[in-house]
Structure 1
């Protein structure tokens, strides 16, 4: 009797990646590491430009010429700031989010389609962001030096609100969600939903290929509003039943274990720490950026200064947030293995994600930059599971690709 060797099985899976595909994935991934630094530089330069124009202080002074109007100033200054930031960062966004993805073959979306969606996203961000800015500056004025505590709570409320609203009102603006057709694939997802306690009345396929060629699925929403959504890219890339069960089982793990709420709770703490540091570093940043006409941290005209400080803090906190998310992703993988018991299906799906995530980084690179465990580590864990948990039944080989939703 031949003993199953997880290390050898992992090596076999990794060998299915061609040297060319691996080299392209490494170039894309490591280039993405540098984008973090360049993104910070862009954020600081944009903040400096907005301050130098003097538009925000001019708007503040005009609105408060006769009497203080803190809420109105916060709203108008916030909206103008968000619009100016969008315009000034647009060239960078085009490069990072469209041209680079196009160059690496990760999207087929035409530029006009990308720009249209970017404008839509900005419109939504301006509405919600403007209200959030009003609330934040209200807390700063009312709670004084303790504003960073209340600001963290506000961040948590905003995240939960978006978790509830986005699947229902926002995501359908960008993609078409079609109920999964009857058949073996839907039956497998429904069966797994029953087993895991995930709602089974909203199982969709969406035209994710409209924006990206990335192999992906998700379970979004909270509690009874949850829905299972699989990108049509999965089926275009030949997903079989074992893959579907493995991938959807992973996403159901996020839902069942309330990862979004755990993540929100930790993010509240991180937001408090970030706001605390921003409060202390704000005077120094204001001097360095030459914002002489900007008041203290309660002045909405200082939004560019506050944003620049938070950008620096956010970059420094990247390893912390990445470690948190990696831990959650590992737990979701384990959930999938326990509930779906499809280690080969999960491994096959993971290999398909290696085109945009270098599969075998060093331990240091993974710690610093990866918000998911590396593909090689995830496949190895799946093979270790397989060694001690034989499959309950033979995996079916193929799933008929559902019709691609019409956008």
Structure 2
């Protein structure tokens, strides 16, 4: 350990760079978000139940089938109608949870009209994705009645990877403008970092993340030829220096190099295996209890809201498990950043800037259940422990 350096005191000093009222506001936002998770699940269940009781999907199914079309068309039309109806019914809740609340805490400056426009685009894209996903899923149910849940879980893992492949080039440009990072110290440093650890270095971009949120963030997204390093302009509006860039981008590169994308695909596939098996076994009982009149069974697309309710319940119950798996990946990415780029202070400074939307010092139980990243206090302490046993990197210049 470096002589005279106290990791605990250094951690406390970093957390103290925010005043007590800022920490209190962050805690209120974070803990309110736990209730948002619960109420959002209940809203989702209520909306699906309303659609079930209305019988509208049974009517749509019957109307399509009268034309003697095959099951593919019936599935596509019913799924599309259900997706759009449920999206419209949940729109007031989404406006509160994802716009009004974010704005009230100063985490976005976006006007409601801008949020509503992008929400409409998200609904349209989501409807296409859901129609494709459930068309394939219902095909598997028809084709492999006893084992569809196993084939479906494999499809989820593959679909996850396909989406990550397409996301940087097809979906994300619809919401944000991505521009090459201008020549200078930041770009040169990231190119050098990328070459050092084997990350593609030809796509270093900055995007207008402040359009949606005031959150300080960066990411490495895509696979193979679509992989790119993207930094939100919020980083630089919050005066990120080169040490912070190295710490944050090093973390994101860690996700890429450590293969967390493939680990997550396997995790989602395993999760889907369990969920689909439960749905297969519970669907008849759930349909009966929910009063799903006219639904012929699990292969009937008119029963999609029954599946949606089962998915919502299982996902809510599994929240601690899913978040724990995510925390492991995030902690591993922090280790990668420290091991390869040795910027504990840069990483710590960046982490402190995320406290406004993720309280720094939750209880162990709260972190276990609700946090998909390790708590900021924990992450800063790990960075300071690293600093205590490793010599510092050369001083970094300002990035702005």
User: Does the alignment reach a TM-score above 0.5?
Assistant: yes
Q: Tell me what 2:270 maps to.
A: 269
Q: What SS does the corresponding residue of 2:219 show, helix, strand or coil?
A: strand
Distance 1:66 1:217, change over 3 A: closer
CA distance in structure 2 between the partners assigned to 1:190 and 1:287 by the alignment = 58
Q: What SS does the corresponding residue of 1:371 show, helix, strand or coil?
A: coil
CA distance in structure 2 between the partners assigned to 1:69 and 1:307 by the alignment = 24
Q: Tell me what 1:241 maps to.
A: 242
Equivalences for 1:190-269 in 2 at 5 Å?
190-269=191-270
Preserved contact between residue 254 and residue 337 of structure 2 (Cα < 8 Å): yes
Preserved contact between residue 203 and residue 228 of structure 1 (Cα < 8 Å): yes
Q: Tell me what 1:121 maps to.
A: 122
Structure 2: 5+ residue runs without aligned partners?
A: none
Preserved contact between residue 218 and residue 230 of structure 2 (Cα < 8 Å): yes
Q: What SS does the corresponding residue of 2:179 show, helix, strand or coil?
A: strand
CA distance in structure 1 between the partners assigned to 2:72 and 2:274 by the alignment = 25
Q: Tell me what 1:10 maps to.
A: 11
C-alpha deviation, 1:68, in angstroms: 6.5
Q: Tell me what 1:78 maps to.
A: 79
Q: Deviations over 1:87-130 (max 9, x none)?
A: 01100110111000000000011111111111111111111211
Q: Tell me what 1:333 maps to.
A: 334
Q: What SS does the corresponding residue of 1:280 show, helix, strand or coil?
A: helix
Q: Which runs of 4+ in 1 moved over 6 A?
A: none
CA distance in structure 1 between the partners assigned to 2:21 and 2:146 by the alignment = 55
CA distance in structure 2 between the partners assigned to 1:209 and 1:361 by the alignment = 27
Q: Tell me what 1:363 maps to.
A: 364
Q: Tell me what 1:145 maps to.
A: 146
Query: What TM-score do the two structures reach when normalised by structure 1?
Result: 0.96
Preserved contact between residue 217 and residue 251 of structure 1 (Cα < 8 Å): yes
Asked if 1:283 corresponds to 2:284, the answer is yes
Q: Tell me what 1:90 maps to.
A: 91
Preserved contact between residue 217 and residue 235 of structure 2 (Cα < 8 Å): yes
Preserved contact between residue 179 and residue 204 of structure 1 (Cα < 8 Å): yes
CA RMSD for the aligned pairs?
1.1
Q: What SS does the corresponding residue of 1:145 show, helix, strand or coil?
A: coil
CA distance in structure 1 between the partners assigned to 2:37 and 2:284 by the alignment = 25
C-alpha deviation, 1:145, in angstroms: 2.0
Query: What TM-score do the two structures reach when normalised by structure 2?
Result: 0.98
CA distance in structure 2 between the partners assigned to 1:99 and 1:80 by the alignment = 27
Question: Does 146-155 or 319-328 show the bigger shift?
Answer: 146-155
Equivalences for 1:97-176 in 2 at 5 Å?
97-176=98-177
Q: Deviations over 1:22-47 (max 9, x none)?
A: 01110110011111111111111101
Q: What SS does the corresponding residue of 1:229 show, helix, strand or coil?
A: strand
Q: Tell me what 2:25 maps to.
A: 24
Question: Does 227-236 or 54-63 show the bigger shift?
Answer: 54-63
Asked if 1:59 corresponds to 2:74, the answer is no
Q: What SS does the corresponding residue of 1:368 show, helix, strand or coil?
A: helix
CA distance in structure 1 between the partners assigned to 2:395 and 2:41 by the alignment = 50
Q: Deviations over 1:196-252 (max 9, x none)?
A: 111111000100000000000000011232100000000000100000000000000
Preserved contact between residue 166 and residue 226 of structure 2 (Cα < 8 Å): no
C-alpha deviation, 1:66, in angstroms: 6.1
Q: Tell me what 2:399 maps to.
A: 399
Structure 1: 5+ residue runs without aligned partners?
A: 401-407
C-alpha deviation, 1:134, in angstroms: 0.8
C-alpha deviation, 1:305, in angstroms: 0.4
CA distance in structure 2 between the partners assigned to 1:2 and 1:253 by the alignment = 30
C-alpha deviation, 1:288, in angstroms: 2.0
Q: Deviations over 1:44-100 (max 9, x none)?
A: 110111112211001111222364631111000000010001101100110111000
CA distance in structure 2 between the partners assigned to 1:336 and 1:156 by the alignment = 27
Preserved contact between residue 63 and residue 69 of structure 1 (Cα < 8 Å): no
Preserved contact between residue 193 and residue 200 of structure 1 (Cα < 8 Å): yes
Asked if 1:308 corresponds to 2:277, the answer is no
Q: Deviations over 1:291-311 (max 9, x none)?
A: 122121111000000000010
Preserved contact between residue 61 and residue 78 of structure 2 (Cα < 8 Å): yes
